[in-house]
Amino acid sequence: MSKTQVNNLQGKVALVTGASKGIGAAIARELAARGAAVAVNYSGSKVAAEKIVAEIKAGGGKAIAVQANLADPDSIGPLVEKTANEFGPITTLINNAGIYDFGPIEAVTPEHFHKQFNVNVLGLLLTTQAALRHFDPKGGSIVNIGSIVASGLATASVYSATKGAVDSITGALAQELGPRQIRVNSLNPGMVETEGVHAAGFIGSDFQKQTEKETPLGRIGQPDDIATVAAFLASDDSAWLTGQTIQASGGARL
C-alpha cells in the first residue's frame, strides 16, 4: 500500500510489464493505491500476478493480470489490447520487464546477447509501439526502468549495454512523442532487494556490503523506493519532465 494518501492517479490506466514480483509488483501496487487502473503483466508467474491483483482489489483498486512473454513479439499486441479493452485508453506505460545474466567477456555468446536484448530492448520497443496504438489522445507518461549499471559494470557487459540502450531510447522517444504530449523518462535503480537479487545470492554477500559502503544513504534500495518515484513520473506532478534519466540509487554511482 502507498506510503501516502495521494490520489493523484485517479482516472489513469497503467500497464506495468514484469509486474508479478519485485520492482514491478511494487509499482503496480503504488499506482493502484493512487487511483490508477492497473494491468499486471507476467510471463510465467501467474499465481504471483493474481496475488498482486487480489491485494489491489482488496484495497479498493482496479487491476487485472495479463500474461505475455515480451521475448515473443506475437504476445505483445494481445497484452496491450486486453488492457485497453478492460480499462480504456492507456495513459501510463511502465516498461519494467527485464532480465539479467552476468558473466565475463569470455562467456558472451550470441544466445547470451539475444536473450537479454530481446526482452530488455526489443521487447520494450515493441511494447511501446503497441501501447501507442491504444494511448489516450491527450497524452500520458512512459517510464522505462533502466539501471545505474548503464554506465558499465564488470561481468555485465551485455546487461549494461541493454540498459544503456534503454537510456538512449528514452531520449529519442521523448523527442519523438513530445508533440503528442507523451512524456518519456528513464528510472534507473541501484541495487534493490528483490526476489531475483535474493535468488542470485547477492543479499548478505560482500557485493551488498560493498554497495552499501559506497552508497551515501548507507543501504540498498527496497522496491517501494522505486515505486514512489515511478508514481511521481506517471502523475501530472511531473508534467514538465521528459527525456530525463533519474537515478534512484541512494546516491550510489558506477
Active-site residue set: 159
Return the residue matching grid coordinates 503483466: 41
- Residue 135 to residue 138: CA distance in whole angstroms: 8
CB atoms within 10 A of CB 225: 20
Return the residue matching grid coordinates 555485465: 156
How large is the C-alpha radius of gyration of the chain?
Answer: 17
Angle of CA points 210, 220, 33, to nearest 5°: 170
Amino acid identity, position 90: I
- Residue 133 to residue 30: CA distance in whole angstroms: 25
Helix (H, G, I), strand (E, B) or coil at 151: helix
Evaluated on CA atoms 87, 90, 93, 99, the torsion sign reads: positive
Strand partners, 92: 14, 141
Helices (H), the chain: 22-33, 46-58, 76-87, 110-117, 124-132, 157-177, 195-199, 206-213, 223-234
